[in-house]
C-alpha cells in the first residue's frame, strides 16, 4: 500500500493523478479464516484492524451484506465524547476519544477529527445536579470535563438564547477535547489499513446461517458460499438479534430507528457541539456549513432507515427556541439509522453461549464515538478471551443484575 502524503500528491499531480491505487481490495472469500467479523461498519473494521495491529491475527475476513460503512456508520451525526457517569463507560469511551486524537496518523488517512468541544446543556435544576455529579465522577476517572455557567455557555456559543421562557440555559457540562470526525473517513481509513495487512473486506456478502458443532462455532453460510473460521465476531448493530438467533441464543436488546437531519449550508456560526437532553435535540455545524441536527429515537420497534416528520418537527421546534437563528433555515435532507438498545443503555461486548462466537452490540445512540475503543477492546476479547475494557459489559450482567446505568448520559440520541 502506498502511503498518502504531500509528496504523493505532488508526484501524482505530474502523472495527471493516474497512479492512485484502490484504497482496499475486493477479493473473493476464501474457504477458511482464523477469524471472521460480520459487519463492515466502524466497529467491525476497527476490531479487525486491532486484531492485526495488536495481536498479529491477519487471516481475517470482514463480511458486509451491503456496502462498507453503509449502515449506522454512515448515518450518524459524528459526535465524539467520553463524559459518561459510570466507570466502565468512561474507560471505554475515553480510550476511544484518545485513539481518535491520533487516528489519522495511525491509519495514514485523514479522518478529519475536530476536537471542537461538546457541551450538554442543563435546562432544569435536576440536570444541574446530574451534570455536577458527572463532572465530579469524571474528575476521579481522569476525564477532562467541567460544569460551566450560563455566561460561559453564551461566550462559547454566541448564537444561543440562554433566557428562553420554556428552556432557559442554567449551565452546561463541557468537555473541551470532545468533538467530531468524518464518519465515512473513519470506515474508509480502517478498511484501507485492514486491506493493507492482507485482510479480506468482502462486500455484498450476506450471512444466512451460523454453523456450529459440539457447541463450538465452525463457520458461516453466506450468499457467496460457506466460510469456515475459528473465531466469529458479530458486529451488526440493529440486526444483532437476528444474527444471535442464527447462533442459537437471544439478546436483551430492541431495535429502533434513530433520526437526524441537516439544514441548507450557511456561513460558520457555531464551532462547538451543543446537546440538550431536556428537549431531546442536539446540533453542530459541519465543515460544509450545514447545521447537523438530531433528536430522540422512535418510541416503537422498527427497522426503517427513513426519518419521520413528526420527530423532526418535535426536535426542531424546541431547538428553534434555543437557537433563534435557525428559524428560517430549510431542511436539506433527513435520514434514520437502526440502533440496538439495551435496558441499561450500555453496550454488550461479550462471549456468547456458542464457544468461539463473540458479540459486540447494544451501543444504542452512541456507537460512533466508541468505534476505536470498541475495536481495541473487542479485538483483545476475541484474541485473549478477556479484556479490561470489555469485562464489565458481558451478557451475564443482565442475569446477575450488574447493570451499567447510563440512561442519563445516553438517554438522548447522540
Q: Which tens digit of pLDDT belongs to each residue from 31-75?
A: 999 999 999 999 999 999 999 999 999 999 999 999 999 999 988
Strand pairing category for 179-180 and 79-80: antiparallel
CA proximity to 311, closest of 272, 362, 259: 259
Q: In this structure, are residues 254 and 341 in contact, taking their beta carbons and an 8 Å threshold?
A: yes
261 with 374, same domain: the answer is no
pLDDT at 408 over 70: no
* Domain assignment of residue 312, yes or no: yes
> pTM of the prediction?
0.94
209 with 98, same domain: the answer is yes
137 with 162, same domain: the answer is yes
97 with 170, same domain: the answer is no
Give the Å distances, CA to CA, from 227 to 131, 230, 237, 357, 377: 48, 10, 22, 14, 25
User: Which band of pLDDT confidence, cut at 50, 70 and 90, is reported for residue 95?
Assistant: very high
Phi, psi of 369 (to 5 degrees): -65, -20
What value does the mean pLDDT of the chain take? 93
pLDDT digits (tens, 9 = 90+) for 14-33: 898 898 989 999 999 999 99
Phi, psi of 227 (to 5 degrees): -130, 125
CATH of the domain at 318: 3.30.9.10
pLDDT at 310 over 80: no
Predicted local confidence at residue 281, as pLDDT: 87
169 with 214, same domain: the answer is no
Cell numbers linked to 63? 463480511
Q: Domain range holding 135? A: 118-179+255-342
Helix axes 42-55, 371-384, angle to 10 degrees: 50
Predicted local confidence at residue 413, as pLDDT: 40
Residue recorded with cell 442459537: 248
129 with 52, same domain: the answer is no
260 with 154, same domain: the answer is yes
Cell numbers linked to 364? 444504542
pLDDT at 409 over 60: no
Question: Could you say which of 312, 342, 372 is where a domain stops?
Answer: 342
* Domain assignment of residue 17, yes or no: no
Predicted local confidence at residue 237, as pLDDT: 92
User: Which band of pLDDT confidence, cut at 50, 70 and 90, is reported for residue 112?
Assistant: very high
> Mapped to the 3 state alphabet, what secondary structure does 205-228 carry?
CCEEEEEEECCEEEEEEEECEEEE
pLDDT digits (tens, 9 = 90+) for 189-227: 999 999 999 999 999 999 999 999 999 999 999 999 999
170 with 259, same domain: the answer is yes
Number of domains the chain contains: 2
Residue recorded with cell 442519563: 408
* More confident call, 188 vs 337: 188
* Domain assignment of residue 1, yes or no: no
* Domain assignment of residue 301, yes or no: yes
% helix, strand, coil for the chain, step of 5: 35, 25, 40
User: Which band of pLDDT confidence, cut at 50, 70 and 90, is reported for residue 399?
Assistant: very high
Q: In this structure, are residues 383 and 389 in contact, taking their beta carbons and an 8 Å threshold?
A: no
CATH of the domain at 45: 3.50.50.60
Predicted local confidence at residue 314, as pLDDT: 82
pLDDT at 305 over 90: no
For residue 293, what are the β-bridge partners?
261, 283
pLDDT digits (tens, 9 = 90+) for 129-142: 999 999 999 999 99
* Domain assignment of residue 218, yes or no: yes
pLDDT digits (tens, 9 = 90+) for 114-170: 999 999 999 999 999 999 999 999 999 999 999 999 999 999 999 999 998 888 999
Cell numbers linked to 206? 450476506
* Domain assignment of residue 146, yes or no: yes
Torsion of Cα atoms, 123 then 124 then 130 then 134, to 10°: 20
Predicted local confidence at residue 372, as pLDDT: 98
pLDDT at 306 over 90: no
Give, as one character, the DSSP assignment of residue 173: E
188 with 173, same domain: the answer is no
268 with 335, same domain: the answer is yes
The mean per-residue pLDDT over the stretch 277-296 comes to 89
Predicted local confidence at residue 296, as pLDDT: 77
360 with 294, same domain: the answer is no
Burial grade of 400 (CB within 10 A; 0-12, 13-18, 19 or more): exposed
* Domain assignment of residue 9, yes or no: no
For residue 171, what are the β-bridge partners?
122
Predicted local confidence at residue 302, as pLDDT: 84
DSSP codes, 344-374: TS--EEEE-SSBTEEEEE--TT--GGGHHHH
Question: Could you say which of 300, 317, 342 is where a domain stops?
Answer: 342
98 with 148, same domain: the answer is no
* Domain assignment of residue 151, yes or no: yes
Predicted local confidence at residue 241, as pLDDT: 94
Question: Could you say which of 309, 327, 342 is where a domain stops?
Answer: 342
Amino acid at each position: 500500500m502506498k502511503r498518502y502524503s504531500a509528496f504523493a500528491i505532488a508526484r501524482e499531480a505530474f502523472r495527471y493523478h493516474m497512479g492512485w491505487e484502490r484504497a482496499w481490495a475486493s477479493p473473493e472469500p476464501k474457504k477458511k479464516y482464523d477469524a471472521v467479523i460480520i459487519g463492515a461498519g466502524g466497529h467491525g473494521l476497527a476490531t479487525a484492524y486491532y486484531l492485526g495491529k495488536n495481536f498479529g491475527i491477519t487471516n481475517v475476513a470482514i463480511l458486509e451484506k451491503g456496502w462498507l460503512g453503509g449502515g449506522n456508520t454512515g448515518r450518524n451525526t459524528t459526535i465524539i465524547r467520553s463524559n459518561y457517569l459510570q466507570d466502565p463507560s468512561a474507560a471505554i469511551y475515553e480510550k476511544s476519544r484518545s485513539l481518535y486524537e491520533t487516528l489519522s496518523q495511525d491509519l495514514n488517512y485523514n479522518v478529519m477529527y475536530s476536537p471542537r468541544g461538546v457541551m450538554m446543556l442543563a435546562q432544569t435544576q435536576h440536570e444541574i445536579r446530574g451534570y455536577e455529579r458527572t463532572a465530579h465522577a469524571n474528575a476521579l476517572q481522569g476525564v477532562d470535563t467541567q460544569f460551566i455557567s450560563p455566561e460561559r455557555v453564551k461566550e462559547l456559543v454566541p448564537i444561543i438564547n440562554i433566557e428562553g421562557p420554556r428552556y432557559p440555559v442554567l449551565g452546561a457540562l463541557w468537555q473541551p477535547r470532545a468533538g467530531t470526525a468524518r464518519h465515512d473517513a473513519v470506515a474508509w481509513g480502517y478498511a484501507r489499513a485492514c486491506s493493507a495487512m492482507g485482510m479480506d473486506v468482502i462486500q455484498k456478502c450476506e450471512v444466512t446461517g451460523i454453523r456450529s458443532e459440539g457447541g463450538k462455532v465452525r463457520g458461516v453460510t453466506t450468499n457467496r458460499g460457506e466460510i469456515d473460521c475459528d473465531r466469529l465476531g458479530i458486529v451488526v448493530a440493529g440486526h444483532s438479534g437476528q444474527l444471535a438467533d442464527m447462533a442459537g441464543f437471544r439478546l436483551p436488546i430492541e431495535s429502533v430507528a434513530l433520526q437526524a437531519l441537516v439544514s441548507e449550508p450557511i456561513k460558520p456560526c457555531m464551532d462547538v457541539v451543543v446537546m440538550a437532553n431536556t428537549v431531546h435535540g442536539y446540533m453542530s455545524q459541519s465543515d460544509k456549513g450545514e447545521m447537523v441536527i438530531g433528536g430522540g429515537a422512535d418510541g416503537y420497534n422498527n427497522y426503517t432507515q427513513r426519518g419521520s416528520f413528526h420527530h423532526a418537527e418535535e426536535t426542531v421546534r424546541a431547538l428553534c427556541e434555543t437557537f433563534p437563528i435557525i428559524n428560517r433555515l430549510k431542511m436539506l435532507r433527513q435520514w434514520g439509522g437502526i440502533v440496538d438498545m439495551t435496558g441499561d443503555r450500555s453496550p454488550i461486548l461479550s462471549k456468547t453461549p456458542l464457544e468461539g462466537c463473540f458479540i459486540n452490540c447494544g451501543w444504542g445512540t452512541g456507537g460512533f464515538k466508541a468505534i476505536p475503543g470498541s475495536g481495541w477492546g473487542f479485538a483483545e476479547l476475541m484474541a485473549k478471551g478477556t479484556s479490561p475494557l470489555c469485562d464489565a459489559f458481558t451478557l451475564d450482567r443482565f442475569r446477575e443484575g450488574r447493570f451499567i446505568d447510563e440512561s442519563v448520559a445516553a438517554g438522548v440520541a447522540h
